[in-house]
Amino acid sequence: MTQTIHNRAAAAGLRMTAPRRVIARVLDAADDHPDAEALHARAAAIDPRISLATVYRTVKLFEEQGILEKHAFGDGRARYEAADGGHHDHLIDMATGQVIEFVDPEIEALQEKIARRLGYRLIGHRLELFGERIED
């Protein structure tokens, strides 16, 4: 982890109130891609007074600061992860739902090329692979 969510949020000028500190801490501790409800459950385990509404408001705030990334893996709800500066894509295990992160410079370059060919400057992208584990 380059830097904690908490530090980056504070550096961005956000008032780090008690609920926000708890939520930041939960996000820092997460090595998965929790949804709002999961974040709320984990935060409420630390301080039960924290509401789901505050979780939603806080993740939106962090997202606006570029501290957090919001993903929509097609299951209806949004899932979150710390933005590590470096970009990466996702491979989703179709059997378990587990999300694996990867980076591939070659595919990044190829996307730029495709966009340019279509007359566009590439601003962002979303790539998700769906696969099943190869047993050997």
Partner DNA sequence: ATAGCTGCAAACCTTTTGCAACCAA
Partner DNA sequence: TTGGTTGCAAAAGGTTTGCAGCTAT
- Annotation: binding site for Fe cation: 87, 89, 108, 125
Q: Please name the residues in contact with 74: beta carbons below 8 A apart, sequence gap of 6 or more.
A: none
Position 88, amino acid: H
Q: How far is the CB of 101 from DNA (least distance, A)?
A: 20
Tokens of 32: 């998965």
Residue 32 binding target from its own copies, DNA, none, CB below 5 to 8 Å by type: none
Over its C-alpha atoms, the chain yields an Rg (Å, rounded) of 17
Q: Please name the residues in contact with 56: beta carbons below 8 A apart, sequence gap of 6 or more.
A: 36
Residue of 51, 41, 71, 21 lying closest to 5 (CA atoms): 21
Contact segment (CB under 8 A) with its own copies among 21-29, 31-39, 60-68, 113-121 equals 113-121
Q: Is 60 in the site for DNA (CB under 7 A)?
A: yes
Q: Is 60 in the site for its own copies (CB under 8 A)?
A: no
Report how far Cα 54 is from the mean position of its chain's Cα atoms.
18
Q: Is 57 in the site for DNA (CB under 7 A)?
A: yes
Count the residues of the shown chain that bind its own copies, applying the rule CB under 8 A. 32
Q: Is 100 in the site for its own copies (CB under 8 A)?
A: yes
Q: Which residues bind DNA (CB under 7 A)?
A: 14-15, 17-20, 35-37, 49-54, 56-58, 60, 76-78
